Amino acid sequence: MRTSILLLASVLFLAACHKDDVDIATLTTNPMDADYSGQAVLMEVDTVHTEVTVWSIHEQHVTVRVHPGHFPSPAPYEVWCIEENVPDTIKGYSSQHPDNRFELENYQVALGTEYCYRIQLRVADVVIREERVCAIAQL
Amino acid sequence: MMTRTTIRKSFLLLLHCACTSIASAQAPGKLRLMVDPGAGFEFVLDHRFRMQQREVELAPGPHHFSFWAPTRRVTDTTITVQSGVMKDFYIRLPYSPEYIAYNKQLSQWQAKRNLQRRLPILATAGAGVWTLVRYAKLKDAKEVLDGDRERYRLTAVPSDITKLKEVTIPQHKEEFRSERGKFYMAAGISLACAGVSYYLYRRTGKQEKPQFNDPEKVRFDGLVWLPGTDGGQWATQLSMTIGK
């Protein structure tokens, strides 16, 4: 009889191990989550520089590096570069950049003018990361 | 091993047989006693000799026997022994009314005790099974939540994360809490049942079992001289009917 009572108490003890449920507020560890609180390791803006083409047109190049190794699991993604001054968007797809390095080109920039861009990392049409970068077009 | 008492009894019996044989000048006869119950019976021969053997050699003529065995009634009978003849005598000793009453009382006592012990134990066992079932369900609910947590960790699809955080996990959390509540209730009932069972088991353990004091044995003992270590005693009983 005492053994049965002890057995029941043990079951209760085991059940105590299951008392913790999921606290949604603490779910911020997935880099794809909008509430992600870790370091921004998925994407970084490498360089912004201006070049002159053979037709003497000035182009501003924004180089972005993506780190898909930090994704929770492999997924196709896109890098969008939205120019703020002119509503123009340049898109780059992961399938076209196996080295994960994107060079986004803004044609016909005026030297001495500052251009601002919103660089977005998108997965399944959702913005995962967004960074803003501004640079003056100069040679 | 023959004790002093047995030697004395055998000597008296032989003397008795010899005297009767000499008086009648006839060869003794033999009686083989087939008594139910087969073991433990005793008898008193001719109101004088208390014996336990299965065969007796007696002088021809009628002899009085009082048979008795534990839980049986004292049965008196007279057997006529024929000279030089071996005779089988069959008798079944009936149970004494006191033993029948005792048996009934004992059965009732055992039934009551069994009920007081088995019913709570059955209830405890049932509650225990129910608790285990609830525990299994709680474990399942916990595993579902763990699965959600793992899915959150691994998914690279933002819409999945949103769905997980806004719909799936809250729903599974609710189910988990519900299962936990049910489990605690089941476990509480099981513990209560176990406590009651333990208490009743202990309490019924202290209940006194009915004892059987064989009055027929007292009556049988009172029929003859009982030899003892300090010389023995004469046991008898006296009854008096008072009429108008």
A99-132 residue pLDDT tens: 999 998 888 889 999 999 999 999 988 888 899 9
The answer to whether A25 contacts chain B (CB < 8 Å) is no
**Encoded amino acid at B129, one letter:** V
Query: pLDDT (tens digit, 9 = 90+) per residue, A25-68?
Result: 888 989 888 888 877 678 888 889 999 887 889 999 999 999 98
Task: Kindly report the nearest CA distance between residue A31 and chain B, in angstroms.
Answer: 8
Task: Write out the E strands in chain B.
Answer: 29-36, 42-45, 49-51, 55-58, 61-68, 75-81, 86-92, 225-226, 233-234
Q: Mean pLDDT over residues B233-241, rounded?
A: 54
Structural tokens at position B4: 């002093």
Mean pLDDT, chain B, integer: 86
The pLDDT score that the predictor gives to residue B46 is: 92
The residues facing B66 across adjacent strands are: B44, B76
The pLDDT score that the predictor gives to residue B228 is: 55
Structural tokens at position A80: 């969008």
Weakest-pLDDT range from A14-23, B89-98, B214-223: A14-23
The pLDDT score that the predictor gives to residue A36 is: 86
List CB contacts (< 8 A) between A11 and chain B.
131-132, 135, 187
Beta strand B233-234 pairing with B225-226: antiparallel
Q: Mean pLDDT over residues B61-66, rounded?
A: 94
pLDDT score of B240 more than 80: no
Nearest CA among B132, B153, B151, B154 for reference residue B143: B151
Degrees to nearest 5, angle at CA B59 with B57 and B62:
105
**Encoded amino acid at B15, one letter:** L
Structural tokens at position B240: 């008096």
Structural tokens at position A11: 């079951």
Instruction: State ipTM.
Output: 0.72
List CB contacts (< 8 A) between A126 and chain B.
158-159
Q: Determine whether the interchain pair A30/B152 forms a contact, defined as Cβ–Cβ distance below 8 Å.
A: yes
Task: Kindly report the nearest CA distance between residue B114 and chain A, in angstroms.
Answer: 15
Task: Write out the E strands in B171-229.
Answer: 225-226
pLDDT score of B236 more than 60: no
